[in-house]
Amino acid sequence: MVQLRPRASRAPVSAEAMVDEGQPASEEEAEHGLLLGQPSSGAAAEPLEEDEEGDEESDEAPEELTFASAQAEAREEERRVRETVRRDKTLLKEKRKRREELFIEQKKRKLLPDTILEKLTTKNEDCGKGNDSKKVKVQKVQSVSQNKSYLAVRLKDQDLRDARQQAAQAFIHNSLYGPGTNRTTVNKFLSLANKRLPVKRAAVQFLNNAWGIQKKQNAKRFKRRWMVRKMKTKK
Amino acid sequence: MGEFKVHRVRFFNYVPSAIRCVAYNNQSNRLAVSRTDGTVEIYNLSANYFQEKFFPGHESRATEALCWAEGQRLFSAGLNGEIIEYDLQALNIKYAMDAFGGPIWSMAASPSGSQLLVGCEDGSVKLFQITPDKIQFERNFDRQKSRILSLSWRPSGTHIAAGSIDYISVFDVKSGSTVHKMIVDRQYMGVSKRKCIVWGVAFLSDGTVISVDSAGKVQFWDSATGTLVKSHLIANADVQSIAVANQEDSFVVGTAEGTVFHFQLVPVTSNSGEKQWVRTKPFQHHTHDVRTVAHSPTSLISGGTDTHLVIRPLMEKVEVKNYDAALRKITFPHRRLISCSRKRQLLLFQFAHHLELWRLGSTVATGKNGDTLPLSKNADHLLYLKTKGPENIICSCISPCGSWIAYSTASRFFLYRLNYEHDNLSLKRVSKMPAFLRSALQILFSEDSTKLFVASNQGALHIFQLSGGSFKHLHAFQPQSGTVEAMCLLAVSADGNWLAASGTSAGVHVYNVKQLKLHCTVPAYNFPVTAMAVAPNTNNLVIAYSDQQVFEYSIPDKHYTDWSRTVQKHGFHHLWLQRDTPITHISFHPKRPMHILLHDAYMFCIIDKSLPLPNDKTLFYNPFPPTNESDVVQRRTAHAFKISKIYKPLLFMDLLDERTLVAVERPLDDIIAQLPPPIKKKKFGT
């Protein structure tokens, strides 16, 4: 059996003590008081733990909270909040800076070494100015590296013209042989001609001689070897 | 006659490229034909339809339009956005001018011949002024929304019709603004999903605009009001080309099914003045799309994806009903693409971008007349030599000993040395070509393979000495007058003394190689030379002209031989003169000086100079050797021309040694098997 302690008299006594203590000097204390008041009036289980401490100090007056201290506390709180925000910001900034540096590093690794780039730009300026006309098909820049393993070419000289020509050829192909046109294969065409001849012939069959060349060669070799073996055993 | 073993070669995978544009020039009766690989060929229609000149192709040049301007100037425009003028004298490209409108789809010269109109991809129509040495941009017309696919000038030069996608616009030339925009109906077999592409327009002088489109319609529009007058639905597929005659009483259209239709302006009733356009004749000479047509005063010309050039003379325009009124179909090239090395039995095949070297197979079997002997060793593909760069190969040659290969493109000349060691072949390029040797029209090696003769396109004839692995320039014969015309052909004698070169209009020049000077000139003939060769012992130059005449000229004596005079007096048999294709190769038998072996695409012939000549009444084509017939019949039918039509179509025929012939055939079916797909046609009963 659980032994319950008597507590019916607790709650009203504390409330009265609060009220008796004095009129709240500022709204803050009143708020505090009210806040303190509400839970105590509501739940009965909570004051169970407090009651043990409260038992010793039940006759003592609650802490006195002056305006100045509360203000200081609030300011402290604000300062702490501001501190955390600033720290967060700086942390984020650092992270971004580190990432930026990483990217620059990677890009640098991808590009050609500085010396070669320098040489290229100077060369380009020299010979790029003269021929503005679009007649220049490919503007080849002299290979500047020591081992001459690559050649720098201006892409903008050839890209646009080729792309347009490709598009034009695709248009023609589409309109003549694309979907919607009524085309037949050469095989069917020739077979139809065979069928309509006065002396009817069979349909045309196209052979792919390039299919399975290795297989055919292997088969031929095997046949030769088999024949030789057969001849030997016969003998 | 003797028996020959014939190597029948069918592994030359020759596929000509499709014909894209055709342009007819009235003053000179010449036809310019451009193909899809960029080659432009000029045919002389009055010289028995012989291909006189050609400009080699280029990979990036996709010509879409070709036209003649005044003064015999030829222009072409293509998908690379450039207008190219061709120099017909020097056989090269004068200049290429970028039109800055993107790919060019159509081009038309003004009726006066002094202005050029170009329709581009971005919808702009540009006007160029033709100056004596170049063309100059004048102005742009109003820009349209979609690409301009066809153009036509009004004969008076005041208006222009431009066909685009789904509409046709009529421009006023002076102001450059659109007068009318006529919308074309999209209906195609009852469905209107696909855009209607106006492939061709033609403007007549009375203001009628004729348009042909991809829905298979031919429509007549009135340009004054911008309305449709009449519409003919003639095909189930695209109608791709149109050409109007100069007198404007007939025009011809070509469809994608291969049919060519002839429309004529006929009076409504027999004595009324009112006329109307009626579709009169269909011609089915093509199997694939007919991409281009032209109308000359007497004939209809068509060409398309099936690579034939068909010239159909109109019967009502032809005055005399003789062989001139027959249909001409040009399929095979008029020049030699194959060279042969007799000693090693090698054949060099020339393609557009590569060369192939094959060794002929051999057989040990024997048989009687007409047998097919089994091969003991198959033909060997020895070499596949790809050319560098985008240009096509103009000419190529292999030396008779088989150790040198030379070929030329439009800007470079290549010479290779071959080494044979125990069935292995190694190739080495001779670098450091002289700077003056850029492009050659014809290359020939001497019989002992020590000299190389090159006819360059500047008109000069160069002789090089070949020895070991090196070569040295010996001499250059400069042209006489300063102009070079037509195809240049070379022939060298077996002993290496004489070199004959045709090509200038002054006749065939014969040079003395040992003394390096001009020996004599064969008198000029009004037809171009198609083949030439020098006989081994007698040093007689045999020349075949495009009107099928064969002459024999004695070089040491500097006059025509007696046999040649007899033949000219007697005249050739009418069946000989009525052959379609020109003679492309002449060769001789080493032991029989009385025999001349020549061939064209459909027959090969051995002329026996000791036998009598046939007159028009004799049976020309002898039956297969009549060994068991009576003597009388043999005497009656024996004449000098022994013709065999067993091997056809022949691209090349030569005598390898005394008892062996090689015949390179190209069956037409093999070419058709490699063409793009044709339109599906529904036939009854299939």
Span B580-632, pLDDT tens digits: 899 999 999 988 889 999 999 999 999 999 888 888 877 777 765 555 555 55
Domain boundaries, chain B: 19-245, 246-330
A:110-139 residues touching chain B, CB 8 A cutoff: 134-135
Report CB contact under 8 Å: B678, A183.
Answer: yes
Report CB contact under 8 Å: A184, B680.
Answer: yes
Most confident of A8-22, B360-374, B640-654: B640-654
- Chain A residues with CB under 8 Å of B147 CB are 171
* Residue B678 contacts A, CB cutoff 8 Å: yes
Residue B530 confidence (pLDDT) above 80? yes
Model ipTM value: 0.85
Query: Are the C-beta atoms of B20 and B32 separated by less than 8 Å?
Result: no
**Domain end position, chosen among A111, A127, A142:** A111
Mutation target to probe the A interface, by most A beta carbons within 10 A, among B186, B679, B682, B684 is: B679
- Chain B residues with CB under 8 Å of A182 CB are 236-237, 679-680
- Chain A residues with CB under 8 Å of B674 CB are 186
* Residue A173 contacts B, CB cutoff 8 Å: no
Question: What pLDDT score was predicted for residue B347?
Answer: 94
User: Kind of pairing, strands B660-665 and B5-9?
Assistant: parallel
Query: Are the C-beta atoms of B40 and B63 separated by less than 8 Å?
Result: yes
Neighbours of B224 (CB within 10 A): 13
Mean pLDDT of A211-221: 92
- Chain B residues with CB under 8 Å of A181 CB are 237, 679
Q: Which of B451, B361, B357, B440 is nearest to B402 (CA)?
A: B357
**Helix (H) or strand (E) segment spanning residue A15:** helix A10-21
Report CB contact under 8 Å: B675, A186.
Answer: yes
- Domain for residue A226, yes or no? yes
Which of A175, A188, A190 is opposite residue B214, by nearest beta carbon? A175
Query: Are the C-beta atoms of B473 and B461 separated by less than 8 Å?
Result: no
Superfamily of domain B19-245, CATH level 4:
YVTN repeat-like/Quinoprotein amine dehydrogenase (2.130.10.10)
Residue A208 confidence (pLDDT) above 90? no
The 10s digit of each residue's pLDDT in B551-572 is 999 999 999 999 999 999 998 9
Question: What pLDDT score was predicted for residue A6?
Answer: 57
Report CB contact under 8 Å: B677, A189.
Answer: yes
Question: What pLDDT score was predicted for residue A147?
Answer: 57
Mean pLDDT of B146-154: 94
Report CB contact under 8 Å: B677, A182.
Answer: no
User: Kind of pairing, strands B470-477 and B461-467?
Assistant: antiparallel
- Chain B residues with CB under 8 Å of A186 CB are 672-675, 677-678
- Domain for residue A175, yes or no? yes
Q: Which of A95, A180, A232 is nearest to B256 (CA)?
A: A180
Residue B339 confidence (pLDDT) above 90? yes
Task: Give me the domain span that covers residue A162.
Answer: 158-233
Question: What pLDDT score was predicted for residue A162?
Answer: 80
Q: Which residues of B339-364 are buried (b: 16+ CB within 10 A; e: fewer)?
A: bbbbebbbbbbbbbbebbbbbbeeee
Q: Quick one: pLDDT band at residue A128, thresholds 50, 70, 90?
A: very low
Residue B118 confidence (pLDDT) above 90? yes
Which of B81, B121, B679 is opposite residue A182, by nearest beta carbon? B679
- The Cα of A195 is separated from the nearest Cα of chain B by a number of Å equal to 8
What whole-number distance in Å separates Cα of residue B22 and Cα of residue B184?
Answer: 26
Question: What pLDDT score was predicted for residue B651?
Answer: 92
* Residue B238 contacts A, CB cutoff 8 Å: yes
Report CB contact under 8 Å: B677, A135.
Answer: no
**Domain end position, chosen among A111, A140, A167:** A111
Residue B364 confidence (pLDDT) above 70? yes
- Name the burial class of residue B386, with classes exposed (0-12), middle (13-18) and buried (19+) by CB atoms within 10 angstroms of its CB: exposed
The 10s digit of each residue's pLDDT in B237-249 is 999 999 999 999 9
The 10s digit of each residue's pLDDT in B466-488 is 887 778 888 888 776 655 555 58
Residue A52 confidence (pLDDT) above 60? no
What whole-number distance in Å separates Cα of residue B24 and Cα of residue B39?
Answer: 16
Count Cβ–Cβ pairs < 8 Å, chain A vs chain B.
70
What whole-number distance in Å separates Cα of residue B158 and Cα of residue B206?
Answer: 12
Question: What pLDDT score was predicted for residue A31?
Answer: 47
Q: Quick one: pLDDT band at residue A196, thresholds 50, 70, 90?
A: confident
- Chain A residues with CB under 8 Å of B685 CB are 196
* Residue B197 contacts A, CB cutoff 8 Å: yes
Mean pLDDT of B28-50: 93
Question: What pLDDT score was predicted for residue A74?
Answer: 93
Report CB contact under 8 Å: A189, B287.
Answer: yes
* Residue A161 contacts B, CB cutoff 8 Å: yes
- The Cα of B326 is separated from the nearest Cα of chain A by a number of Å equal to 25
Residue B269 confidence (pLDDT) above 50? yes
- The Cα of A181 is separated from the nearest Cα of chain B by a number of Å equal to 8
Report CB contact under 8 Å: A181, B79.
Answer: no
- Domain for residue A7, yes or no? no
| Average pLDDT across chain B, whole number | 89
* Residue B82 contacts A, CB cutoff 8 Å: no
Question: What pLDDT score was predicted for residue B62?
Answer: 86
Higher pLDDT, B150 or B192: B150
Residue B301 confidence (pLDDT) above 90? yes
Question: What pLDDT score was predicted for residue B623?
Answer: 63
Q: Quote the number of domains for chain A.
A: 2
Structure-token pair, residue B293: 């047509």
What whole-number distance in Å separates Cα of residue B415 and Cα of residue B406?
Answer: 4
Percent of chain B with pLDDT over 90: 57
Higher pLDDT, A192 or B617: A192
Angle in degrees, CA B619, B623, B625, rounded to 5: 125
The 10s digit of each residue's pLDDT in A129-166 is 444 444 444 444 554 555 566 767 666 656 667 888 88
Question: What pLDDT score was predicted for residue A50?
Answer: 44
Query: Are the C-beta atoms of B302 and B252 separated by less than 8 Å?
Result: yes
Integer angstrom CA distances of residue B390 from B320, B352, B361, B441: 47, 10, 33, 18
| Average pLDDT across chain A, whole number | 73
Helix ranges, A58-132 (H): 67-110, 114-128
- Chain A residues with CB under 8 Å of B80 CB are 161, 165
Question: What pLDDT score was predicted for residue B459?
Answer: 76
Question: The pTM is what?
Answer: 0.79
